Amino acid sequence: MIKLYGVHGTTASCADLLEQEGFRLSQGYRGKGIYFWRKNAYAEDLSIGWYLTSISQGHHSQDTDKRCAIISASINVDDNELLSLEAPNIKDHIADFFKKSNYKDHINAIKFYEEFFEFLELELNHPLKVVESAFPAPKKCQEYPRQALGMPIAYLVRKANCVSILSIKKLEQLELESWKTANESMKQLKRYLPNYSQ
């Protein structure tokens, strides 16, 4: 058994509902599932960035409590139920499959991954409950050092019963404003130093 740790950013209303009813699968970059940033020094920043991006896109407009909530969770899977898309041999196989297919754009890529995971499950004769993959950092997360660390790693959890909520932290507006101010300072620094890169 492997225990993974992930962080998820959402609204306080949504977090309360998830605590009561558990997570539900929803559509995302790599198909249907629950998405968590792998827990590390930048996981909370990435989660806040994701929350801010979602709010700016008009999601959660019906939520009564729109404060940012950061959910920390453990994800439990057997060794053979975890697939890392970052393993070189897996990336090579995916590239082969993708090149031979007619998938070209982002929407079709989502469909491709869902079909790819289903094909693997049939071949392996057991479920793939968690997929580890690199994802672009949210645009609202300016603090993440993209060039130094590359794309951050996220977990796509394909079976909700793998997830256990460990804690929920709700950020008051002042805390969120402090975070946004720190990120704005980083953007201003980049303007003054044209050759500076994260």
Task: List the one residue out of 124, 100, 99, 98 whose CA is nearest residue 30.
Answer: 98
163 assigned to some structural domain: yes
Within-domain flag for 198: no
Question: Would you say residue 172 lies in a domain?
Answer: yes
Burial 1-33 (b: 16+ CB within 10 A, else e): eeebbbbbbbbbbbbbebeeeebeeeeeebbeb
- Per the domain annotation, does 175 fall within a domain? yes
Question: Does residue 64 fall inside a structural domain?
Answer: yes
CA–CA distances in Å: residue 172 to residues 66, 67, 167: 10, 7, 16
- Counted domains in the chain: 1
Range of the domain at 43: 2-192
Asked whether residue 179 is domain-assigned, the answer is yes
Beta bridge partners of 71: 8, 168
pLDDT digits (tens, 9 = 90+) for 65-117: 999 999 999 999 999 999 999 999 988 988 887 778 776 666 577 888 888 89
Q: Which tens digits make up the pLDDT trace of 107-151?
A: 577 888 888 899 889 988 999 999 999 999 887 776 788 888 899
Amino acid 197: pLDDT: 44
